Chain A
Amino acid sequence: MFNDEVIPLVKTLDIKEARAIYGPDLPSPEEMLEEPVLIRREGKPYAIAISLDDYRRFQEWREKTEREAQIQAQNAAWEKERAAFYRLKPQLLQTQKGLYVAVHGGQVVDADADERSLAIRFFEKHGQVPVYIGLVSEQPPIIEMGGPELTHCAAL
């Protein structure tokens, strides 16, 4: 519940009309920057005024939280496609060995010897939806990563 008890605010501002916020009781901008101000209308919590810096921080936090939720949902959907690939793999090794396959909705929806062609075709047809694109092979291919980079040099 949204009330004074659970929101430990120091300042409050009671208004009855919109113009009241322009009245002499309004905390100064300097005071508004110090801490959130609870605005009450007819004695009930109505809104909270916070500084622009606090609002920007809140926006950043909210965007970050939304992005993390989106990524979690994406990962969960992708894990299902990945699991489907490995479930189907034994039979794919019999029929599509050496090909790249696109698994979407728990089934193979396309295959190609060229991975890039397959990816372009898939995304242009389906858009950015959950998919597992993988090579049907007994052993996964191993790709080289970059070499080491010096992070600092000690003077001799």
Chain B
Amino acid sequence: MPHYDLELQPPAPFTEVSITNFATGQSVYLPGKVDTGAGITVIPERVVRDLVLPKAGEMLCQSYDGARIWHPVHYVDLDVAGYHLPYTKVVSTARTYVLLGRDVLNQFILTLDGKALVFDLRDP
């Protein structure tokens, strides 16, 4: 369910994300933060271990401070706000929740109402 997480200051838009290893069918459910500043969706390294996700590439990522780091790439089935996105490319880093980047967000109509702290994610 899309919602603003008020624990974060300032509050941030989150929605539930399911990550599935398409070969085994095993899934995990995690909160995913809508992050229009990210060029790619990021999953926690723990999920890679839990689902035994193989690497399929690597990507040079640049953080907000200009630091560049190579991160492993994986392909997973994502379910975001009720929409199924098979074979989605993601990178993994040491974090606790998912970052939904523009690669995924640009497949939706995303309406952010920061004043009311509500948002909507719909497939056109």
Which one of A9-17, A25-33, A40-48, A64-72 contacts B?
A: A64-72
In the complex, A142 Cα to B60 Cα: how many Å? 5
Which listed residue, B22, B52, B65, touches A71 by the CB 8 Å rule?
Answer: B52
B56 near A78 with CB under 8 A, answer yes
In the complex, A18 Cα to B8 Cα: how many Å? 60
- Contact A145-B62, Cβ < 8 Å, known A67-B49, A123-B87, A128-B22: yes
State the Cβ distance, A62 to closest chain B Cβ, in Å. 14
In the complex, A142 Cα to B39 Cα: how many Å? 9
Interface SS of A by simple majority: mixed
Task: In the A-B complex, list the 6 residue pairs whose CB atoms are closest, starting with the nearest.
Answer: A128-B23, A146-B38, A74-B54, A143-B39, A144-B39, A146-B35
What is A's interface to B at a CB cutoff of 8 Å? 67-68, 70-71, 74-75, 77-78, 82, 115-116, 119-120, 123, 127-128, 130-134, 140-150, 153
Number of A-B residue pairs at CB separation under 8 A? 94
CB-CB under 8 A from B50, the residues of chain A are 67
Which listed residue, A78, A128, A145, touches B64 by the CB 8 Å rule?
Answer: A145
A144 near B9 with CB under 8 A, answer no
Q: Which residue, B35, B55, B61, B73, has most C-beta atoms of chain A within 10 A?
A: B55
In the complex, A145 Cα to B71 Cα: how many Å? 11
Say if the beta carbon of B110 comes within 8 Å of chain A.
Answer: no
Please give me the residue from chain B that is nearest to A148 by CB atom.
B64
Say if the beta carbon of B57 comes within 8 Å of chain A.
Answer: yes
Which listed residue, B38, B42, B52, touches A74 by the CB 8 Å rule?
Answer: B52
In the complex, A71 Cα to B46 Cα: how many Å? 12
In the complex, A78 Cα to B86 Cα: how many Å? 21
Say if the beta carbon of B37 comes within 8 Å of chain A.
Answer: yes
